[in-house]
């Protein structure tokens, strides 16, 4: 699963990442269930022949945990709306396990730390 390129269509999410200042593309988590450890990974994304670095999260929704599995990617230095478009992505290095947070501020702090760590790889 990791180190292979995967192709998927971007779907609408709940908008939580955008609200926190970390917009994400949402992808189908089903192919990764029981095959990928839950958590945060570095990630590469190809969209229209351009490559981007990003942070990929696979696991339960962090705050309300109503959904068991989500797969979303915060693409660094990218601000386009690409719902319904095809992207390719490659899962990189494992960064950390999923966490439970008490509030949005705690989640934002953790996400900032994840981005710093991925950018330093």
Smallest Cα–Cα separation from 61: which of 45, 50, 72? 72
Angle at 116 between CA 92 and CA 68, to 5 degrees: 55
Smallest Cα–Cα separation from 10: which of 59, 75, 63? 75
Q: Name the pTM for this structure.
A: 0.91
Given a cut of 70, whether residue 63 has pLDDT beyond it is no
CATH number reported for the structural domain that contains residue 79 in this entry: 2.40.30.30
* Count: domains in the chain: 1
How far is the C-alpha of 75 from the C-alpha of 90, rounded, in Å?
12
At 64 the pLDDT is: 58
Q: Which domain holds residue 38?
A: 5-119
How far is the C-alpha of 24 from the C-alpha of 119, rounded, in Å?
17
């Amino acid at each position: 699963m990791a180190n292979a390129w995967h192709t998927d269509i971007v779907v609408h999410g709940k908008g939580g990442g955008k609200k926190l200042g970390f917009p994400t593309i949402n992808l189908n988590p089903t192919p990764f269930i029981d095959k990928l450890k839950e958590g945060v990974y570095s990630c590469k994304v190809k969209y229209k022949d351009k490559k981007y670095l990003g942070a990929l999260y696979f696991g339960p929704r962090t705050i309300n945990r109503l959904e068991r599995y989500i797969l979303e990617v915060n693409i660094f230095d990218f601000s386009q709306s690409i719902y319904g478009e095809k992207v390719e992505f490659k899962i990189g290095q494992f960064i950390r396990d999923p966490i439970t947070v008490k509030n949005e501020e705690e989640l934002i702090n953790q996400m900032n730390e994840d981005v710093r760590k991925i950018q330093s790889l």
